[in-house]
Amino acid sequence: MVSKISDRLIVTLLIIAILLSVFSIVMTLSLSVNSQAYNSPEIPQGNTQANVEITVAPNPLAGEANAGAGG
């Protein structure tokens, strides 16, 4: 009877030891994730160009030759 209890106790302790070891490994691996070097974020590339657009429709009646006024 004493021998069975002792064996069960040993088994329990060994299981606890295994679980603790697994837990420790997981924690260590998580540490490796947290300690990874962070790469610099990409440098934002701004839009450095702007457009000025205009559409000029012909007006044959505009200009000095017609009324000679304005401008």
Residues engaged in binding another protein (CB under 8 A):
4, 7, 10-11, 14-15, 17-18, 21-22, 24-25, 28-29, 31-32, 35, 37, 40, 43-59, 61-64, 66-71
Minimum distance from CB of 40 to another protein (Å)? 6
- Between the two ends of the chain, the Cα-to-Cα distance in Å is 117
DSSP state of 67: T
Minimum distance from CB of 1 to another protein (Å)? 13
Output 1 or 64, the one with its CB closest to another protein: 64
Nearest to residue 19, comparing CAs of 31, 9, 27, 7? 27
